[in-house]
Amino acid sequence: MDGAGGPRVTAAMVAERAGTSVSTVSLVVNGKSRGRVSPAITERVRTAVHELGYVVDHAASSLARGRTDLVVLLAPDLPNPYFGRVTTGIREALGDRHQLMLSVIASGTQPGADDVRRVAAFRPAGLLVHAPSPTFLDELDPGGPPLVLLDAPGFEDRAATVTFDLRPGVRALVGHLAAAGHRTIAYLDGATPSATFAVRRAWLREIAATHGITVLGAGDDPDRPPAATGHARDGSAGSDRARDGSTRSARTPDHSTRPDRAPDDSARSARTPDGSTRSDRTPDGSAGPVRAGLSLDAAADTAVGAIPGWLDAGATAVVAAADTLAYGVLAAAHRLGLDVPGDLAVAGFDDLPYSQVTAPPLTSVALPAEELGRAAAHRLTALLTGTDTPGPAPLASRLAVRASTAPP
């Protein structure tokens, strides 16, 4: 009960028992004995290791080696089931070569300088950061470990990044809504200032515009940090202007694989409206962004307040930045006595499994979470072994059509 944990077994104890030296023990337990240690001694060491229950001390080992097998994942939003799926993919692709350490950040918070510090103390072999905010990246120690960002559109120039190509899904969603006769739709954004949310909003507005659809609450992002570093604009879906003005040298070689540069993309749609400098920090009526915490309950509360205004402004549909937010909209609609999709259509992003069984089943832009995790892990191991390639093509999104957006 006193935390002692008993006398720890050391290599010296194993060596003594096997009648050999610690050097030899080290060789054997690290699988480097082939041709360096006689089979007889190797066997004796193995036996002693088993009998004593010896485990190589991680701290001592990494101190001596000068490196770690640790991959740290900065986890900003553990309670979101989406995140769990990403982690599953990472774990799967990382295999046994690396120990995955999940650094849990307080829920609803973004990773701060302190979190980065604490993580740095572990000298991780690599760092994985999911849906980072622009400011988080600026806090990173420039001499830090190899880094892969997940779902961080617009940061391709700053670090190795694995992203989604949101356009197929958003196009399908907008086309679907347009066909159902919607002309004004509202957008419920996530309260987290992550780049991925900014891009979801930007693409939706952009593509909706080509259909003559107005999107309430999808104006410029007032939380985007000022363009001081020249990266701020990259936080959006990316504009040619911002990229051309960049002084970054470590670019992703293959620009054509980036979601905003795909061959089938017209010049117009490649430029997102976020390139504009207009500030709407002063809410311009019903067009101001509405943000909600990522939990169902928080989103429901926010939506209950926002829906009446949206309806007054003529909205017939709501798109939420994440499925968990969309669930909140469903709950809010219920509380307000509104029929979905009769009075209000609802759609989300992510396509969580639970969206199959909501009332009504939720239309959602499906984002392949586990694939994202796998791709990021592969990218990181490539980085660590020096075999990194330009970066995989962005992972395609698609639309899962369900009853929540059925024509009234």
Q: What is the footprint of DNA within residues 61-90 (CB under 7 A)? A: 61, 63-66
Restricting to residues 335-364, name those near a second copy by CB under 8 A.
Answer: 353-354, 356-361
With CB under 7 A as the contact rule, which of the stretches 2-10, 124-132, 273-281, 306-314 interacts with DNA? 2-10
CA gap 373, 365 in Å, rounded: 18
Restricting to residues 10-39, name those near DNA by CB under 7 A.
Answer: 10-12, 19-24, 26-27, 29-30, 32, 35-38
Q: Which helix (H) or strand (E) holds 81?
A: helix 81-94
Say which amino acid occupies 162: V
Applying CB under 8 A, does 46 fall inside the site for a second copy?
A: no
Closest by alpha carbon to 261, among 270, 252, 253? Answer: 270
Query: What SS3 state is found at 290?
Result: strand
Is residue 74 within 8 A of residue 110, CB to CB? The reply is: no
Applying CB under 8 A, does 102 fall inside the site for a second copy?
A: yes
Restricting to residues 284-323, name those near a second copy by CB under 8 A.
Answer: 295-297
CA gap 86, 373 in Å, rounded: 5
Applying CB under 7 A, does 4 fall inside the site for DNA?
A: no
From candidates 330, 345, 347, 399, binder to a second copy by CB under 8 A: 330
Query: What SS3 state is found at 100?
Result: strand
- Cα–Cα distance list, 291 to 49, 111, 225, 302 (Å): 56, 19, 17, 8
Say which amino acid occupies 356: Q
CB 291 → a second copy: shortest distance, Å? 19
CB 75 → a second copy: shortest distance, Å? 8
Whether the ω angle into residue 341 lies within 30 degrees of 0, i.e. cis, is yes
Site string for a second copy, 105-134 (x = CB under 8 A): -xx---------xx-xxxx-xx--------
CB 120 → DNA: shortest distance, Å? 11
The binder of 36, among a second copy, DNA, none, by C-beta within 5 to 8 A per type, is DNA
Applying CB under 8 A, does 253 fall inside the site for a second copy?
A: no
From candidates 23, 50, 55, 390, binder to a second copy by CB under 8 A: 55
Restricting to residues 168-207, name those near a second copy by CB under 8 A.
Answer: none
Query: What SS3 state is found at 40?
Result: helix
